[in-house]
């Protein structure tokens, strides 16, 4: 089977490529770092020849990036169109639990979507574009929980925890995220067993509070497992004074969101968690510390 991955050189794409190649799949990489662009129809046509499956990971998460809507929405529209034209048999889109907005209670695939940020809105719009073509191609949408891995966001947060910086909120919110290796596991499960036109929510199994999650990171860093907190408005003020990007209103909202997910649907197609939260923290912290 021949699989094209957009965003192949990103946090998820690199690990997914490795795992798929281990399984014997022929993987075609498509990424902006290789000079490829999902807005370029000519490049898409050329790379989609004889492709069986497209896994669409490419996207922009920074709300301040002027190209966010163009890439996340118009790029997705281009890609599904050219995939259908090229007779691709299956199209998997990596969306986000961000489409639910700020949530309360336990969330599943049928929960109301109420995106607030531009990124969240772009992901929901991308989903709708794909769902509108479900009669023409086998589609699956994966709504991933917040991804835990070796990127700048987590590097910055871990630096702050290493300095014993207090949390910019009370830390009592359920913080059910997913490490990148587990997400790759979920994507492969959907690739192999996903039913046509279905949406699957994927997250880690364990449901810690944000405060307890950060304590575990501090333990891995060799720090005391004490997690102080400060009021959000004070944290925002400190962020402005010292120009700490992670202490902006947007980032604090992101950190303090309630994340509590029901995984029955993806479990029903054979998804099995491979990593505990302790193993994930150990792996990510060690990778970042290198």
Q: Strands (DSSP E) along 76-224, which ranges?
A: 90-96, 138-144, 147-148, 178-179, 198-202
Q: How distant, in Å, are the alpha carbons of 7, 153, 181, 278 from that of 194?
A: 21, 30, 19, 28
Q: Strands (DSSP E) along 82-214, which ranges?
A: 90-96, 138-144, 147-148, 178-179, 198-202
To the nearest 10°, report the CA torsion of 178, 184, 189, 192: 160
DSSP string, 253-270: HHHH--B-B--HHHHTTT
pLDDT digits (tens, 9 = 90+) for 160-197: 899 998 999 999 999 999 999 999 999 999 999 999 99
- Greatest Cα-to-Cα distance within the chain, rounded to the nearest angstrom: 57
The continuous run of DSSP H or E covering 5 comes out as strand 2-6
**pLDDT attached to residue 240:** 86
pLDDT digits (tens, 9 = 90+) for 9-33: 999 999 999 999 999 999 999 999 9
Closest CA to 265 of 218, 201, 181: 201
Please state, for a pLDDT cut of 70, what percent of the chain lies above it: 100
pLDDT at 284 over 90: yes
Closest CA to 29 of 7, 48, 51, 57: 7
Can you tell me the distance from the alpha carbon of 243 to that of 144, in angstroms, rounded to the nearest whole number? Answer: 30
pLDDT at 246 over 90: no
Contact of 110 with 242, CB cutoff 8 Å: no
pLDDT at 239 over 90: no
Please state, for a pLDDT cut of 90, what percent of the chain lies above it: 89
All domains of the chain in start order, with CATH? 2-148+177-204+260-274 (3.40.50.720)
Terminal alpha carbon distance of the chain: 35
**pLDDT attached to residue 242:** 81
Name the β-bridge partners of 138.
90
Can you tell me the distance from the alpha carbon of 12 to that of 149, in angstroms, rounded to the nearest whole number? Answer: 9
């Amino acid at each position: 089977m021949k699989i094209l991955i957009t965003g192949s050189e990103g946090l998820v794409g690199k690990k997914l490529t490795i795992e798929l190649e281990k399984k014997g799949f022929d993987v075609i990489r498509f990424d902006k770092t290789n000079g490829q662009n999902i807005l370029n129809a000519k490049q898409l046509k050329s790379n989609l020849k004889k492709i069986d499956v497209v896994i669409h990971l490419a996207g922009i998460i920074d709300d301040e990036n002027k190209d966010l809507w163009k890439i996340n929405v118009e790029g997705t529209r281009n890609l599904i169109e050219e995939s259908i034209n090229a007779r691709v048999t299956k199209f998997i889109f990596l969306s986000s639990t961000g489409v639910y907005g700020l949530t309360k209670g336990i969330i599943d695939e049928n929960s109301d979507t109420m995106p607030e940020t531009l990124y969240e809105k772009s992901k929901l719009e991308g989903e709708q574009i794909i769902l509108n073509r479900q009669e023409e191609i086998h589609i699956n949408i994966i709504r991933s929980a917040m991804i835990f891995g070796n990127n700048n966001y987590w590097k910055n947060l871990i630096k702050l925890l290493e300095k014993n910086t207090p949390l910019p909120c009370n830390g009592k919110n359920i913080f059910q995220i997913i490490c990148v290796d587990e997400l790759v596991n979920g994507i492969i499960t959907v690739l192999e067993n996903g039913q046509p036109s279905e949406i699957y929510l994927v997250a880690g199994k364990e449901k810690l509070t944000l405060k307890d999650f950060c304590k575990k990171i501090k333990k891995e860093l060799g720090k005391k497992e004490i997690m102080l907190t400060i009021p959000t408005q004070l944290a925002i003020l400190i962020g402005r004074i010292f120009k700490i990007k992670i202490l902006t209103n947007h980032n604090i909202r992101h950190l303090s969101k309630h994340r509590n997910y029901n995984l029955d649907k993806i479990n029903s197609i054979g998804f099995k968690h491979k990593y505990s939260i302790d193993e994930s923290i150990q792996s990510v912290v060690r990778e970042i510390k290198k």
